[in-house]
């Protein structure tokens, strides 16, 4: 949390809490008018194994909840297209920069090469120039929801909040489940926009605790209409700059089958889902009896040194019409899920400790006591290894650990073993003192898969709260066959 927020109501220690009573609403009489119909983003799919697309990053007019403003956008769209590719495809994306600042693009969660012209986050596209990305997607690439976003150190938070993030989906996550064939798919990208005098506040002036505008695909509280008993597949991505989303859908369960572009190994039933910045989930939702039900982001605090926000209705589900005959049976049986390797059971080549910390005033952030330096390699890994990282948090606010190019399994959090349900590329790291029964810094123990040769080169790991990574909480790792690694230019 930056120093500018210290004047807000943070003078008391606030334990992380969220509150909401989940209930149903079965009487439509006297209700306010419904919002606009929910709209999926525009979708662009690969053809004959190739997806060719051109994006122009430029300042364009936009509007949220009736409020006009100007912001940086791709092709003048507040909700850019969702790009759909398959394993084995090639994504060719020409990015033209018409902004007055540098930019670039990162393919979040993708297991692809970090070498130029692929997912190289060290590329800097200067104003009035462009870059042709070519991203080869392996044949064995995981299927699910990913996304793309600007990733230029120091201004990532500003560019993402302006609008420079959008959707990317690989393959068909539902393929193993024939009973789901033909069900409605809803793609939901969650993003908030803070406005100041008709613009996004400049870098350093964005306040995660301040007033903001919550949107789903750029819409404010749109309406999804379902029949009683109807099952839909919702792919939800938190592609905003800073915020967590603590989601509940009144009167309904979430049947989670995907996390961070990885199919789970079983259905995970949840009353609520906590989505750290940059996380994605795929859930099945089966409509209850007729009525209106709100999908809410509950009020949330990231800790005594952190931020407080939320309490917004993201969209409304309007259940009406004739009930579905023979609704799909949920949860999906575990034997229908393809097996997933539990990395926590693998032979570990290296153990590392990664320490997230920050200054008392919240202005500067560190990994292992160092601020980010793109010219310094902080960690070298050997291709072929599994490594166990203990990610600790000595600060008084939450952090979101993310690593590029690969996935991991969470083995324990604050000493508590975690049930194995699959892989992911983001994890929430508790703050120090959050759990009164756990002494010392908060921690998440993960095992990371560095076995894929495609990761050869340099990439980064960091806290994915934009404010934190822009102010130092990022580090460089380099992967090669046998460290010490050579330089990859």
- Give 108's strand partners: 147
* Cα separation, 1 vs 401, whole angstroms: 16
SS3 35: coil
Whether 487 maps to a domain, the answer reads no
Q: Are residues 182 and 308 in the same domain?
A: yes
CB 318 within 8 A of CB 251: no
Whether 289 maps to a domain, the answer reads yes
Domain harbouring 287, CATH code = 2.60.40.420
Mean pLDDT of the chain: 93
Q: Are residues 193 and 330 in the same domain?
A: yes
In the predicted model, what is the mean pLDDT of residues 137-142?
Answer: 98
What is the pairing mode between strands 474-480 and 457-463?
antiparallel
Chain segment 346-404, per-residue pLDDT in tens: 999 999 999 999 999 999 999 999 999 999 999 999 999 999 999 999 999 999 999 99
* Cα separation, 369 vs 68, whole angstroms: 42
Whether 402 maps to a domain, the answer reads yes
Report how many domains make up the chain: 3
Q: Are residues 104 and 188 in the same domain?
A: no
Question: Domain range holding 368?
Answer: 343-480
CB 18 within 8 A of CB 310: yes
Q: Are residues 124 and 206 in the same domain?
A: no
Domain boundary among 336, 367, 400: 336
SS3 360: coil
Chain segment 303-348, per-residue pLDDT in tens: 999 999 989 999 999 999 999 999 999 999 999 999 999 999 999 9
Q: Are residues 209 and 318 in the same domain?
A: yes
Whether 65 maps to a domain, the answer reads yes
Q: Are residues 318 and 204 in the same domain?
A: yes
Chain segment 68-79, per-residue pLDDT in tens: 999 999 999 999
- For 307, the token pair is 């931020």
- DSSP code of residue 469: H
CB 255 within 8 A of CB 243: no
- Which residues have C-beta within 8 Å of that of residue 463, sequence separation ≥ 6? 356, 365, 399, 400, 401, 402, 469, 473, 474
- Which residues have C-beta within 8 Å of that of residue 196, sequence separation ≥ 6? 205
Q: Are residues 233 and 159 in the same domain?
A: no
């Amino acid at each position: 949390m930056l120093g500018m927020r210290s004047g807000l109501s943070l003078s008391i220690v606030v334990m992380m809490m969220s509150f909401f009573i989940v209930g149903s609403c079965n009487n439509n009489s006297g209700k306010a008018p419904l919002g606009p119909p929910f709209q999926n983003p525009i979708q662009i799919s690969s053809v004959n194994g190739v997806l060719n697309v051109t994006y122009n990053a430029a300042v364009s007019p936009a509007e949220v909840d009736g409020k006009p403003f100007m912001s940086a956008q791709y092709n003048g769209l507040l909700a850019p297209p969702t790009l759909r590719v398959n394993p084995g495809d090639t994504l060719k994306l020409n990015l033209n920069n018409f902004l007055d600042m540098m930019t670039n693009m990162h393919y979040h969660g993708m297991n692809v090469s970090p070498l130029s012209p692929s997912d190289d986050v060290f590329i800097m596209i200067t104003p009035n120039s462009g870059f042709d990305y070519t991203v080869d997607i392996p044949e064995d690439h995981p299927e699910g929801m990913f996304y793309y976003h600007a990733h230029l150190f120091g201004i990532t938070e500003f560019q993402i909040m302006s609008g420079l993030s959008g959707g990317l989906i690989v393959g068909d996550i539902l393929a193993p489940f024939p009973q789901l064939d033909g069900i409605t798919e809803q793609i939901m990208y969650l993003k908030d926009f803070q406005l100041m005098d008709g613009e996004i506040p400049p870098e350093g002036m964005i306040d995660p605790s301040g007033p903001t505008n919550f949107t789903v695909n750029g819409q404010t509280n749109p309406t999804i209409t379902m029949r009683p008993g109807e099952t839909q597949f919702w792919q939800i991505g938190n592609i905003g700059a800073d915020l967590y989303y603590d989601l509940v859908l009144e009167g309904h369960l979430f049947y989670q089958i995907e996390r961070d572009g990885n199919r789970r190994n079983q259905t995970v039933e949840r009353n609520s889902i906590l989505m750290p910045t940059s996380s994605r989930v795929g859930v099945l939702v089966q409509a209850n009896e007729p009525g209106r039900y709100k999908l809410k982001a509950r009020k949330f605090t990231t800790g005594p040194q952190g931020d407080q926000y939320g309490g917004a209705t993201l969209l409304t589900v309007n259940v009406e019409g004739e009930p579905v005959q023979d609704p799909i049976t949920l949860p999906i049986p575990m034997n229908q899920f393809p097996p997933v390797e539990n990395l926590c059971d693998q032979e570990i080549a290296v153990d590392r400790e990664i320490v997230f910390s920050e200054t008392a005033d919240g202005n500067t952030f560190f990994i292992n006591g160092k601020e980010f330096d793109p010219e310094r390699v902080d960690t070298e890994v050997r291709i072929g290894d599994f490594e166990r990282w203990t990610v600790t948090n000595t600060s008084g606010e939450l952090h979101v650990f993310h690593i590029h190019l690969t996935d991991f399994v969470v083995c324990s959090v604050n000493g508590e073993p975690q049930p194995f349900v699959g892989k992911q590329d983001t994890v929430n790291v508790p703050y120090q003192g959050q759990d009164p029964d756990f002494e010392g810094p908060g921690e998440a123990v993960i095992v990371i898969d560095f076995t894929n040769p495609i990761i050869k080169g340099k990439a980064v790991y960091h806290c994915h709260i934009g404010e934190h990574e822009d102010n130092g909480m990022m580090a460089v790792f380099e992967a090669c066959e046998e460290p010490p690694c050579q330089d990859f230019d």
